[in-house]
Amino acid sequence: MYISNNFFYTCLIMKRTLTTIICSFILACAGIAQEGMWLLNQIDQLNLKEAGLKIPTTAIFNPGQPAIANAVVQLGGGTASFVSPEGLLLTNHHVAYTALQRASNVQSNYLTDGFLAREKSEEIQAPGYRARILVEMKDVTGEILEAAKGIDDLEVRDRKIQEKSDEISKAIEDQQSDADAGVVSMYNGKQYILFIYKVLKDIRIVYSPPLSIGNYGGEIDNWMWPRHTGDFSFLRAYVAPDGKGAAYSEQNIPYKPEIWLKVARENLNPGDFTFVVGFPGSTTRYRTSNSAAWNLTENYPFSIENYGAIIALAEELTKNDPEGQLKVASLTRGLANAMKNYQGKVDGMIRTKYVDRKKKFEEEFMVWVNSTPETKAKYGTILDQIQAQYKVIKKTKDRDNILGLFQGLAGTRINVAYYAWLIATEKEKPEQERIPGFSQQLIDNLTDGLQYTYNNYYEPFDKALLVRTLKMVQKLPGDQRMESLDYIFNGSYKSVEEFVDEAYKNSRLDELDYVKSLLDKSTGELKSLNDPIITLMAEIYPYIEENRVMNNTFGTIVIDLRKQYIDALYEWKGSALYPDANGTIRFTYGPVKGYSPEDAVWYEPFTTLRGVVEKNTGIRPFDAPEKLITLYETKDYGQWTDPELKDVPVAFLHRCDITGGNSGSPVMNASGEVIGVVFDGNYEAMISDWQYDYEIQRTISVDIRYVLFITQKFAGADFILKEMGVN
């Protein structure tokens, strides 16, 4: 299961020669087929007709005209697509998971039992979900770089770039109430592209299968092949009567997209051409060995241990409490997914000696750099300068890891105290010294999002998270101590647990309206409340601010160095490069194809309903519904039998280049028709965020035939198929 953009965002790969490694970093357009998460304005450079595409590229992306890309939306940290003229959206069950959790309670548990609205009036809100539809993308590199022209100070330069980007975006958003505009850096600042989206703020749940279908196999099967999960859900987008994106209202009407995707009429076979349009979150393919080593030895191990401990804590505290289990479900699932992802990266890096091979690549790079006085003068110290910056952040890494927890995984109460204190602090600074991007719009967005924060609030777990984090502070080495918290450890409290108990008794940070009122207060007014958790944050915040300044300096310098490094790679190899994924819409393509994970093993590219039944134990996560088993036993497949497989296909493998954020992306055939929905990658290739492996990297998608089979035969929702134009 690929993870969302805004939460966490891959291990084992086959040995390759140095030449292949170089190709993975420096991709020519005519180089390794199927590699790349390409910008939509780059797809004309690809040999798509020769690869098997039967439609013109303008049918996929055509500025100013409706095209397939306009039917693909960013949703809930993942991707979705319009599949009817009535705003029906198809995405993953795990993309809709948080919406289902927020809409559920113990009496109506839509996560476990699923949900179906037989009439539009029965559709329920997907709290906090928004759909962003691409309206326009425009290269604004000239405007952005002109604003920073002649500025040598990197931090001042970055601020000017941010100011100009905000100015361009604000001008558009001021004219259109439902527009979301943003200037995004590509290639670490070599190019800047303005993306304009129409935002739909009223999303409702139409159909989601029960957990025993939508998450069949759970974490055991997550990232693994063969897969047998029906990872899909249907939602619907609504707008105001005038067609503008608006918050939920009973007067809103279904959104009518200019274009929606049609379901494939032909069966899917091995070797068939496929392509994906979606919103991949983040990749790091142009990073140096310094970054790779940092993540392998520092970042990933801490995250793996931390997430595992939090999951265990949640399970222990909620094991006999169904309400508590529901409250923590979204968080623990996201953490488990990320933990397995990071472990896969670690396993893959170690098994393939990735850092060592990266260093060998850099040795060859330096031979080229030192080959002429000109290249040596331009690029001779880039790698050394990057290494020096990593040495700086390593000095306080233990403390800084914990400071990160106080901003998200130390409990809801301390997290909202952090946002209240941040807003008050930034307001009191001169405007030119504030955090880039800080604005009233940011405050409004935080305020709107608070209600969803409390949907996940479970006090015993919340308190335990804070206790755990404070005990981690207590164990910091002497040179990284947070002395301002000594009043907890060396004061009148017998234990950290006693401090937290007292703090929660005397704090009102579990009251939504009260917390919203804090976002208008100054630091002085916040202090005067004598709320013990706000007081705790006031003591922590100087360290957070220090860490932010350090990270900003690190980022400013390293991003500039990475840009120079990319310039050098381009100059060295003379190749066209696709930019690293950064949450913007991308295109990737490749054939349906199995793979060999190890010697003498071959994985076929399709799984079937038979496999679902074979895995069934009746115990979660392999607890297939009785009705589904009956459909299999009676062979009541309807029109969804594959003639070659003689069964209902469940999932398939194809050679596309994806990452977190692509979850829910539509998979299309050579004619631009929907054949599936992306939901995962294979475990053996989980370092794909760092490098592409042509032989082994695969995308795992749920077959559209299984989506329609479950919807029609299991749920009895023929009306959804009719709306999609499926006979």
pLDDT per residue as tens digits for the range 11-22:
322 223 333 333
Asked whether residue 336 is assigned to any structural domain, the reply reads: yes
Asked whether residue 487 is assigned to any structural domain, the reply reads: yes
Asked whether residue 548 is assigned to any structural domain, the reply reads: yes
Angle at CA 700, nearest 5°, toward 698 and 701?
140
Asked whether residue 407 is assigned to any structural domain, the reply reads: yes
Average pLDDT rounded to a whole number, residues 96-116? 95
For 428-451, b where at least 16 C-beta lie within 10 A, e where not — what string?
eeeeeeeeeeeeeeebeebeeebe
Exactly one of 185, 507, 663, 701 is catalytic; name it: 663
Confidence of residue 1 (pLDDT cuts 50, 70, 90): low
- Are the C-beta atoms of 253 and 241 separated by less than 8 Å? yes
Q: How far apart are CA 135 and CA 507, in angstroms?
A: 45
Asked which of 67-71, 263-267, 428-432, 578-582 is least confident by mean pLDDT, the reply is 428-432
Q: How far apart are CA 100 and CA 635, in angstroms?
A: 31
Average pLDDT rounded to a whole number, residues 412-425? 97
> How does pLDDT run across 244-296, given as a tens digit for each residue?
999 999 999 999 999 999 999 999 999 999 999 999 999 999 999 999 999 99
Mean of the per-residue pLDDT values for the chain?
Answer: 93
Confidence of residue 3 (pLDDT cuts 50, 70, 90): very low
pLDDT at 431: 87
Confidence of residue 2 (pLDDT cuts 50, 70, 90): low
Domain count, the chain: 1
pLDDT at 575: 64
Residue 663 known to be catalytic: yes
Exactly one of 4, 84, 94, 158 is catalytic; name it: 94
Q: Is the pLDDT of residue 502 over 80?
A: yes
pLDDT at 30: 36
- Domain range enclosing 424: 289-560
Asked whether residue 477 is assigned to any structural domain, the reply reads: yes
Q: Is the pLDDT of residue 361 over 90?
A: yes
Q: How far apart are CA 506 and CA 640, in angstroms?
A: 60
> How does pLDDT run across 24-69, given as a tens digit for each residue?
343 333 334 568 999 999 999 999 999 999 999 999 999 999 999 9
Structure tokens at 588: 């990737």
Confidence of residue 203 (pLDDT cuts 50, 70, 90): very high
Torsion angle of C-alpha atoms 365, 368, 372, 377, degrees rounded to 10: -10
Residue 221 known to be catalytic: no
What residues form DSSP beta bridges with 702?
651, 677
Q: Is the pLDDT of residue 553 over 50?
A: yes
- Are the C-beta atoms of 56 and 76 separated by less than 8 Å? no
DSSP labels, 201-245:
-EEEEEEE--HHHHTTTHHHHTT-SS------EEEEEEE-TTS--
Asked whether residue 44 is assigned to any structural domain, the reply reads: no
- Are the C-beta atoms of 13 and 274 separated by less than 8 Å? no
Q: Is the pLDDT of residue 231 over 90?
A: yes
3-state SS string over 92-111? CHHHHHHHHHHHCCCCCCHH
> How does pLDDT run across 336-357, given as a tens digit for each residue?
999 999 999 999 999 999 999 9
DSSP 580: P
Torsion angle of C-alpha atoms 194, 90, 686, 26, degrees rounded to 10: -40
Exactly one of 158, 202, 231, 398 is catalytic; name it: 231
Q: Is the pLDDT of residue 663 over 80?
A: yes
% of the chain with per-residue pLDDT over 70: 95
Phi, psi of 228 (to 5 degrees): -140, 35
The owner of tokens 């031979």 is: 367
Asked whether residue 17 is assigned to any structural domain, the reply reads: no
Asked whether residue 655 is assigned to any structural domain, the reply reads: no
- SS3 breakdown of the chain: % helix, strand, coil, rounded to 5? 50, 15, 35
More confident residue, 15 or 182: 182
Structure tokens at 300: 């990933």
